[in-house]
Amino acid sequence: MSAKRIAIPSQVPGGLEAMRSGHFGHCDLFTIVDIENNEIKKIWTLQNVEHHQGGCLVPVNLLHENNVDTIIVGGMGLRPLMGFRNVGIEVLLGEGEIVKDSVNAYLEGKLLPMGDEHVCGGH
């Protein structure tokens, strides 16, 4: 596996032990995990931005600008899902309640892509 940058919507303070945020667009921040050859190389956080003006595509663009390849979520609406697809960011459904659970499941190849049938209503 080549180098990948993964984002997981998280609650403060972020990091592997942080709670995953249930709503990606309204999370406090994103825990960013850089992976190379199936090993964690770096963990850092990226503050989420207010997105009243730009709607739910503002976090999509933020992650795209920070070279994220994959986002692991509990759910999202169709509009941001389509936004991620448009910028080439893979969307996977996460596991567990803490960030580390989803990262480990990713490294083990257990996470499934989020399909249109998984979207939340009202977005």
78-121 tens-digit pLDDT:
889 999 999 999 999 999 999 999 999 999 999 999 988 878 76
H or E element, residue 11:
none
pLDDT at 52: 60
pLDDT at 105: 97
Helix axes 57-65, 78-87, angle to 10 degrees: 20
pLDDT at 53: 60
Q: Which domains does the chain have, with CATH numbers?
A: 4-103 (3.30.420.130)
Share of the chain above pLDDT 90, in %: 69
pLDDT at residue 54 is higher than 80: no
Is the entire prediction scored with pTM above 0.85?
yes
pLDDT at 9: 95
pLDDT band at 123 (very low <50, low <70, confident <90, very high): very low
